[in-house]
Amino acid sequence: MDSELLKAYKNTNYTILARPELCVRIGEAELALREIYPGYSSFCIVTAYNPKSKKTPEADNRRASQRLLQRLKSMSDAHLCAKTVAEDPQQKWPDERGFLVANLSKQDALALGQEFSQHAIVWLQEPRFRAEILICDEV
């Protein structure tokens, strides 16, 4: 992944559409996850939009997102918590819809990102649920 793309991932606002809504930022802790979703020690934010960071028509992105949703529902160890929206504050990238998923191992989360041709996913783990970028291409 080139440095500009990595910078875009790091500058994105990852909004979790929960009650209350949360805005996750890379490098920052999101302790409210413990209160909203007690009992989980890790979460990932994953999308199927814009595979390999190629801007894709909205209809294709929606179909890919539906496939991801079905895949998540079929995973016995995954807990689908909420929908998410990744928003680029510079507006160079369109919003990307995705999902907050709990109870996956880091390896399973990376494999899911790879399965849907993503360069990276967002990972949050106890004790502080500090958001980090996990590069799927290196797995």
Residues 59-106 have pLDDT tens digits of 999 999 999 999 999 998 899 999 999 999 988 888 999 999 999 999
Provide the strand spans (E) within the chain: 13-16, 22-24, 42-47, 79-87, 96-102, 120-125, 132-135
- pLDDT class for 138, splitting at 50, 70, 90? low
Q: How many domains does the chain have?
A: 1
Using CA atoms, how far residue 52 sits from 20, 55, 77, 105, 135, in Å, is 31, 9, 26, 22, 12
- In the block, tokens 């899911």 appear at 112
pTM of the model: 0.94
Q: Above 80 in pLDDT, residue 13?
A: yes
Q: Residue 39: which domain range?
A: 3-135
H or E element at residue 34:
helix 32-36
- In the block, tokens 């998540």 appear at 72
